[in-house]
Amino acid sequence: MVIMAPHRSLRLLLASVVTVAPLAIGGPAQADEADGTSVLTVAVSQSVDSLSPFLAQRLVSTSIHRLTYEYLTNYDAKDARTVPGLATAWKSSPDKLTWTYTIRSDSMWSDGKQATAEDAAWTFNTMMTDENAATANGSFTANFEKVTAPDPRTLVIRLKKPQATMTALDVPIVPKHVWEKVGDFSKFNNDKQFPIVGNGPFVITDYKVDQYVKLKPNKDFWRGAPKFDELVLRYYKDGDAAVAALRKGEVSFVPNLTPAQAASLKSAENIKVNDAPGRRFFALATNPGARAKDGRKFGNGHPALLDPAVRKALFHAVDRRTIVDKVFQGHAVEGEGYIPPRFDTYFWKPATAQKIAYDPSKAEQILERAGYRKNSSGKRVGKDGKPLDFRILCHATDPHDKAVGKYLQEWWGELGIGLKVDCLDNVSDPWLKGDYDLAFDGWSVNPDPDFVLSIHTCAALPATPKDTGATDNFICDKRYDELYAKQAVEYDTAQRAALVRQLQSRLYDTGYMNVMAYPNAVEAYRTDHIASITTMPSDGGNIYGQDGYWSWWSARPAADGGADDDSGSPAGMWIGVGAAAAVLLAVGVWTAARRRSTADDRE
C-alpha cells in the first residue's frame, strides 16, 4: 500500500537503494574487493509480505518473484511488447477458446531439474482448485476451464470464454516437484528452506524478516547469468538515510526520490538523477461501504460518502495543479483517468463537459443543494445533523501523503468539512477491515491494464467479512462490471482500448477514485559504481520498478567496465554511466505472437 490499496497496492512506494561496497563485518550487503566479489544491494522500506508467489501482493515481494521465477511471457525492455519467457511461442484456436504454448527446452530449475509444461499446468491447476493458491493471481485463471500438458514442451489452456490477457498472464510458474508437497497454501510462506528453487535470473539464498533478502545469480538462466555476484534487498525505513549513503558512496542507486532530494543531488559529484515518466498513479480512494460477496457489510466508513453528491463536491475541492506544482514540484503530471499517459493506447481523459475541475464554489453549491448545510459554527453537517468529519489513511513513510493531506485539510476545511489525516506504519489492517473513510491510493500499472481494472469488480470482493479478497476499496458497480466483462474477451486492440476508456470514464463518474497525479519515476545512481543498466522504455525510461527483471539482471559493476557480451541482452537501452554513454542494443527478432499493448506487475 504505499500510496495504494491494501495487498497489491502495498507494492508501490519502496525506498530502494543499490549498493556496491567493501565487505563489512555483519553486513550482508557488502562486497569483498579482495576476492573480486561484487554485491548489489537494494534497500527497501517495505516489508516482504510473503515469499510464496501464490500469496505475495506487495511490490517488494512480487519484484523478488519476477527475479526468481519465469512467467510464460515477458515485456520487451525497449517498448513493452510481448516477448518470450518460459514460453517461446503461442497460438490460439480460431474460436479463441484454446491456447497452445510452446515451452522452452533450455530453462532449468536451480536444483538441476528441467522446467517443463507440467510445471506450468500444475501452477495454474492449483490456482484453479485451491482458493488460497489463487490469493495473489486468481483473476488470471478464473476463466480457465482446463489446463493440460500433453508433453514436456506443450501447454494447452482451454477457456470458458475468450480472454484478452492470454499473452499477459503475469503468473510466476513454480516447480511442481517442490510445491506439490505443500499442504495449506494459506500458511506456507516459502521462507524456511534455502536456497529456494527457481528458474529466473536469481536464486533466493537467505531471508530474515524486516532485515534482508539475499539472492545469487542463477548460472543456468537461459538468458545468461546476472553480472553481480549477489543481490541483497535490505530493509530500511528512512529514505533520507539512503540518500546520505548515496552521497558517501555506500550505496549506488536510490529510487522514489522526493523533489527536495532530487534537487540536492543534481550537482553532486559522480551522481546522476534520472527523471522518467512513471507507470503509476496517485489517488484518493473512497470507502463505498465495505461489503463481502455474501452481502454482509462491515467496517465503519462514513455514511455521507455513500452519497454521490458528497463525493463529487470533494472532487471539485481538490486542486491537482497545486499538488503537481507544490507537492511533486513538477515531477508529475496532473491526474485524469485511471491509466497513466505512459500507456497511450489506453490513456483516457474526461471531455470538457464531463471534467470535474477544481471549483470550490461549485463544491459548496452541490453540498447545499444536497442538504449538507453549515451550522452556526461553520461546520458542514450531514442529514443526521452530525458534522462531516472524515478520516483519511496516510502512509507514515510517504511525504507526499502528508503534504497532500495538509492541502486537503485546508481545501475541505473551507467547505466546513473536517479531515483527520491518520498516518500509520501499517495501513493494511484498517483498510482490509473497512475501517476508513478515504485513503491515499496508487498502483503501478502494467502494459496490459486488466489486473488494475479487475480490482474494482464485484468479483474481487472478499467472500465473507473475514476474508481478504482481491479488491482495492470494495467498489461493486454493475455498469463497471459489464464493461470489464466486455473488454476481457475483446481481442481487437482498438475496440478493447475503447472499452478500457469507457471503464475509466465510469470509474471517474462514480467518484470513488480520484486520480490526482501521475508521479514521475525520480531516481539517482552513482556513475562510479554502476557501469551500465537497462532502462524501460529505452527512450527516457526508468530503472527501478520496471515490468520485468531487466534492470537488476542487466546491471554491470563499474569494475567490469560495462563491457557487453552475448549473454542474451534485452532489447532496450543501456545507460553506460561510467562513460556517460547510452548504447542501444539490437532488437531480437521473436517469432511469437504480439498482442499485449499495455500488471504490476502487475507490480
pLDDT in tens, 530-563: 888 999 998 889 988 888 899 999 999 988 765 5
Residue of 226, 410, 449, 451 lying closest to 327 (CA atoms): 410
pLDDT in tens, 213-263: 999 999 999 999 999 999 988 887 788 888 998 898 888 888 888 999 999
240-258 core/surface letters (b: 16 or more CB in 10 A; e: else) = eebbebbbebbbbbbbbbb
* Helix (H/G/I), strand (E/B), else coil: 42: strand
Cα 366 to Cα 29, 143, 312, 336, 348: the distances in Å are: 56, 42, 8, 21, 26
Residue 71: predicted pLDDT: 97
Cα 345 to Cα 280, 496, 521: the distances in Å are: 15, 10, 20
pLDDT in tens, 361-388: 999 999 999 999 999 999 999 988 899 9
Q: Which domains does the chain have, with CATH numbers?
A: 69-179 (3.90.76.10), 282-519 (3.10.105.10)
Please give the average per-residue pLDDT across 20-37, as a whole number.
44
**Furthest CA-CA distance within the chain:** 77
Strand order in the sheet with 212-217: 39-44, 230-235, 212-217, 202-208
Cα 440 to Cα 32, 394, 515: the distances in Å are: 42, 6, 10
Residue 236: predicted pLDDT: 76
Phi, psi of 576 (to 5 degrees): -85, 90
pTM reported for the whole predicted model: 0.82
Q: What is the CA radius of gyration of the chain?
A: 24
* Local confidence band at 91 (pLDDT 50, 70, 90 cut-offs): very high
pLDDT in tens, 157-210: 999 999 999 999 999 999 999 999 999 999 999 999 999 999 999 999 999 999
* The pLDDT of residue 60 is above 90: no
What nine digits make up the cell of 280? Answer: 503509476
Residue 245: predicted pLDDT: 86
Strand-pair category, 521-526 with 271-276: antiparallel
